[in-house]
Structure 1
Amino acid sequence: MSRGRGRDFINVYLPDELLIDIFHRIEESKSTCDAISLVCRRWRRIERESRRTIRIGASGDADRTLQRIVGRFLGLRTVFVDERMPPRLPSYSILTTLIQARIRPSLHQKTNQNRTSNLGSSDEIPLEQLSLSDVGLANFAQACTQLEKLSLIWCSNVTDSGLKSIAYNCNSLRFLDLQGCYVGDHGLASIGECCKQLQLLNLRFCEGVTDTGLVQLARGCGLSLKALGIAACVWVTDVSLEAIGSYCTCLETLLLDSELIKDKGVIAVAGGCRLSLKELKLQCINVTDNALEFVGSHCLALQLLALYSFQRFTDRSLLAIGKGCKQLKNLTLSDCYFLSDKSLGAIATGCSKLTHLEVNGCHNIGTFGLGSIGKKCPNLRELSLLYCQRIGENALHEIGKGCKFLQELQLVDCSCIGDYAMISIAQGCKNLKKLHIRRCYEIGDKGIISIGENCRLLKDLSLRFCDRVGDDSLIALGRNCSLVQLNVSGCDRITDVGLTAIASGCPELVCLDISVLQNLGDLALADLGQGCPLLKDIVLSHCQKVTDIGLSHLVKGCTRLETCHMVYCPMVTASGVATIISSCAMIKKVLVEKWKVSERSMRRAGSILSFLHVDL
């Protein structure tokens, strides 16, 4: 803080309104906000009043925690509560019991509002104290009447009663995520009745919701609702989608994952929201070509289409999409077994604005189809090919020739793609920033060296189990690219020589996975300690030659280390584990065998230790 002759100029001359504006601009950084609150009492008061967003995990008495937060931060607009993360407890056995106990009960069991949790030990904590309850949510709703965004992830004790409290008190609610909550029709009806500004609703795994509740919500929020997600809601049928199509004419995003949804429901939404619908994600095994043809002919504003596990439609669907949806930019095809090259050809011909394409496990799509994309979609930015055994090198040759703006490429188990394809990508797509390759055994040093020499903007590289990649590739990458993330797990030709090149050429490296490298030793860790001071995450599991000495050299320079995985490193002992714990002030997680941790290390850092348990 600026001072002159004992005077505090900032607090004298800057009004509260200006400080509030400054604090709002840096609100995304929680650590910065926390630091601001420690400067002085005035800044603490203003920061508390101006903070708009808070994130909460399961921690002790959830109701009491939320009450304290509400009393401290008076201007909250966005609250995320996520109970998937287990609380930090002093006893590992207690934590294990709690995780096991929090397996979701059946819907019938949940309807019993008086159920209790008996974990069977006097030192174990009752499960209800770790979950947000309706009472806690009601008190929160009464205090945060200006709430705009609320996310309740797997809050298993929240029911219709708590949701009604939110509806009646928080009329400005725009965003509501109820994933995994046991809410039902009465709660949704109250939201529809009171929250007329609701724009986004996520109902994934809300098993208590039926058509009755969704229809009432659609009637109440139809004019404002823009995004809706429905997955594993076992009582939701086409009746709900017909109501959505009738009332929610401004709907832009729809996610459906259901075995009960059929053509009738999808057609109803496509017809009612034909002018507004921009994103459609479907995993509905009973939807056929008829529904997708209707979407193609009516939803002309569609920009994103994701189809998962479709086994009842053919090329007819994509021919209609290519013909009608000229604005399509993002396409995902996953496990669509009956699509062929004709589908991608139709998309390439009709959707020249395509920027993102993912093809996953579509076994009848081959070289010709992807080659069509390379020839006719010059704006392609991201391409993911997973388990595409029929796509060959000529397809990526066309991508390299035609897609000069490609920035991200992912290849998984593509057995026909090798060095020729990588050289084509390297020479044509020089804006490449992210390259992830896994188990593509025909890709070796020639292709990766070309990537290093041509794609100098590359920041994120993963070469998992590419056993033809060796030190020469890393030397080229270290010489020309400033990598931030690198994963060479299972590339067993890599030695200390390659990692030394990375250490000297990539000082901005933050994340590194060098697991399952049998020829890697302490020299590489010493060089990383000298050359990569920003390193935060390292995985060196299954490295047979790494010892405690290498770890000691690593931590001398990598003072920002936060996570370290080192299981199955036979030369690492309790001394090495203690070195990591004592030398890295910012360490948050260490994964190691439990028998390698001394009692002293357990006392000092029990909360950050994670163990790999193998029962023999």
Structure 2
Amino acid sequence: MALAYPCLEKIYLKRMCVTDSDLILLSQLLLGFKELVLDFCEGFGTNGLASIASNCRQLRVLDLIEDVVTEDGCDWISCFPEAETCLECLNFDCIKTPVNFEALELLVARSPFLKKLRLNQHITIEQLHRLMIRTPQIMDLGTGSFISTGPVTQINLERDLSRAFANSRSLVSLSGFSDIVPEYLHTVYPVCANLLSLNFSYTSFNGEQFKSLIQHCHKLQKLWVLDTIGDEGLQDVATICKELCELRVFPFDMREDGEGPVSEEGLLSISEGCRKLQSILYFCHRMTNAAVVAMSRNCPELKVFRLCMMGRHVPDHLTGEPMDEGFGAIVMNCKKLTRLAVSGLLTDKAFSYIGKHGKLLRTLSVAFAGDSDRGLRYVLEECPKLEKLEIRDSPFGDAALFSGLHHYYKMRFVWMSSCRLTLEGCKEVARRMPQLVVEVIMEPSAENITEAVDKLYMYRSLDGRRTDTPEFVSIL
């Protein structure tokens, strides 16, 4: 790629294996390279980052998002040029090992255009304060751990940190807080009135702690939180954050059993208070059709609705009925919907609603849902813009798979796991659609690949089939 496009300035890779050799080659061949974004990637380490830092003299963006980065013992932060840099974004919050803080502080000081800085969990609150003093222009800050390990008295540290946040007048996005001492939380208050985005998805707050902060965030448009804030915390959000457009509520405990701290009450509160909502991801253990219907009516601008009920075939917990009417209301009333994730007890009726009304739907995720092949046929035959389809643990077999033969060339991918597909059915799709890459994935321990298929992955590729498949992957 670097040889074919020597003037390339930006690369964004997602969910790919990237090696140190790739990064070294890129840094040596692309002399004008400016932006590298690696999103959920793996296979590279600090040696590769060191090469990017030393050779890409015009680098503006180094954004490492949820990557798995190998520690090679290389002091990569020290490899940036000693002169003034062009850096606008530096995000290394996914790196699990400490960095050279003295080198980081000097780098930040000579990066006058830096607008986004996200630190990893080894940056202490004292170090955060020193960095903030040098970056009053920062707009997007990831705080690191937000705990103190030094000898500075708490009173002085609180005062100085609060002053640093007050001086960060351009700050509109705040994240990090992988560990937090509640006593320091109030130091963030001076900047809350300007915040548009707040990410607490790694921070286990209780309702009172959360309320003490969120009550200052009236302009907030994007909020990611753990479910530890409870329904009460979501009620506070609904009361205060009238401009909210995106909400994600993640589970602190991934186990399927138990009640869980958020429910239909929190969802209902959000729908009543945040009428501008466009995107929601909501993990919970219990839900009702009534709450989902209310959201469809109160938030008609929704483009993304992902409700993840943590359990298998979970019905409306008040009526015991399937969740068909709730999801049906979402696709009927939210005319701009492009992404939908369904879960809970669902019959083919829910999929008939999706097929009939989900005409703009581009991404659909399904788990533990449906009665028969007819359910998937409704979607594949009636959703003309569908591009991404993810299905797990659902009763869809070969007949359902064949119903999409007219559409697969227009889709980006289809993933089906633990359904009722057979190897012969997958081979038939491969025979009838030779330009589609059809992969059958069996667990390494599986002994018999001749009958039921464990996982099916079908996708379009400009480069054809891949050549690096492990033994348990067969390309048909």
TM class by smaller structure? 0.7 to 0.9
Shift of 1:321: 2.8
Query: What amino acid maps onto 1:537 in structure 2?
Result: F
Q: Determine which structure has the larger helix proportion and give its number.
A: 1
Pair 1:277 & 2:138 matched: yes
1:334 corresponds in structure 2 to: 201
Q: Which of 476, 485, 491 pairs up with 2:363?
A: 485
Structure 1 unaligned residues grouped into runs of 5+: 1-53, 55-65, 87-101, 105-130, 157-178, 545-568, 598-603
Residue in structure 2 matched with residue 63 of structure 1 by the alignment: none
**Which residue pairs with 2:319 in the alignment?**
none
Cα RMSD (Å): 4.0
Give CA deviations for 1:347-380 in whole Å, capped at 9, x if unaligned.
Answer: 44322221111113x52x1222211211222221
Q: Distance in 2 between matches of 1:183 and 1:271?
A: 30
1:210-229 map, 5 Å: 210=75, 214=77, 217=80, 220-221=83-84, 224-229=86-91
Which residue of the partner structure matches residue 347 of structure 2?
Answer: 470
Q: For residues 101-154 of structure 1, give each alpha carbon's deviation from its aligned partner in whole angstroms, at most 9, with x where no partner exists.
A: x8x9xxxxxxxxxxxxxxxxxxxxxxxxxx4597x679x54xx55444568999
Q: Using CA pairs below 8 Å that are at least 6 residues apart, which structure has the higher relative contact order?
A: 2
Amino acid in structure 2 at the alignment position of 1:488: V
The answer to whether the aligner puts 1:458 opposite 2:337 as a matched pair is yes
Shift of 1:294: 5.2
Whether 2:215 is the aligned partner of 1:345: answer no
TM-score computed with the length of structure 1 as normaliser: 0.59
The partner residue of 1:299 within 168, 179, 185 is 168
**In the alignment, which residue of structure 2 is the partner of 1:396?**
267
Contact 2:36 2:61 (C-alpha < 8 Å) held by counterparts: no
Going from structure 1 to structure 2, the CA distance change for 1:182 and 1:215 (only over 3 Å counts) comes to closer
Look up the equivalent residue of 2:120 and give its one-letter code. Answer: D
Distance 1:384 1:515 in 2: 22
Q: Percent identity?
A: 20
SS of 1:488 mapped into structure 2: strand
- The alpha carbon displacement at 1:454 in A equals 1.4
Structure whose CA Rg is larger: 1
Q: 1:578 to 1:242 in 2, by over 3 A?
A: closer
- Conservation of the 8 A alpha-carbon contact between 2:125 and 2:145: no
Structure 2 spans left out of the alignment, 5+ residues: 253-259, 317-322, 443-447, 452-463
SS of 1:453's equivalent? helix
Q: 1:221 to 1:234 in 2, by over 3 A?
A: farther
Give the C-alpha shift of residue 252 in structure 1.
Answer: 1.3
Task: Return the alpha-carbon distance in structure 2 between the equivalents of residues 504 and 216 of structure 1.
Answer: 54
SS in 2 for 1:585: coil
* 1:296-318 superposed Cα distances (whole Å, 9 cap, x missing partner): 433232111112531x421751x
Equivalent position SS for 1:380 = coil
Q: Does 1:590 align with 2:439?
A: yes
Aligned partner of residue 419 in structure 2, secondary structure: coil
Match of 2:182 in 1: 314
Maintained 8 Å contact 1:351/1:377: yes
Q: How do 1:80-99 and structure 2 match up within 5 A? A: 85=17
- Cα separation, 2, equivalents of 1:152 and 1:280: 18
Residues 173-572 of structure 1 aligned to structure 2 (within 5 Å): 180-182=45-47, 195=57, 197-201=58-62, 207-210=72-75, 214=77, 217=80, 220-221=83-84, 224-230=86-92, 232=95, 234=97, 236-244=99-107, 246-259=109-122, 261-274=123-136, 276-284=137-145, 286-287=147-148, 290=157, 293=162, 295-310=164-179, 312-314=180-182, 316-317=184-185, 319-337=186-204, 339-360=205-226, 363=228, 365-387=229-251, 389-412=260-283, 414-440=284-310, 441=314, 443=316, 444-464=323-343, 466=344, 468-482=345-359, 483-491=361-369, 493-518=370-395, 520-529=396-405, 534-544=410-420, 569=421, 572=422
Give the deviation of 1:328 after TM superposition. 1.0
Say which SS state the counterpart of residue 446 (structure 1) adopts: helix
Q: Distance in 2 between matches of 1:334 and 1:504?
A: 37
1:576 aligns with 2:425: yes
3-state SS in 2 of match to 1:385? strand
Aligned 8 A contact 2:35 2:62 in 1 = no
Looking at structure 1, the residues matched to 335 and 349 of structure 2 have their Cα atoms a distance apart, in angstroms, of 16
Q: Against the structure 1 CA distance between its residues 424 and 379, is the aligned structure 2 distance closer, same or farther, given a 3 Å change threshold?
A: same
> Cα 1:378–1:202, aligned 2, differ >3 Å: closer, same or farther?
closer
Give 1:398 deviation, angstroms.
Answer: 2.3
TM-score (norm 2): 0.74
Contact 1:448-1:469 at 8 Å conserved across structures: no
Deviation at 1:269, TM superposition (A): 1.3
Distance in structure 1 (CA, Å) of the matches to 2:269 and 2:37: 44
What is the total number of aligned residue pairs between the two structures? 425
SS of the counterpart of 2:47? coil
1:83-102 CA distance string (max 9 Å, x none): 9648xxxxxxxxxxxxxxx8
Measured in 1, the distance between the counterparts of 2:192 and 2:170 equals 7
CA distance in 2, matches of 1:396, 1:579: 44
Letter of the 2:119 counterpart: L
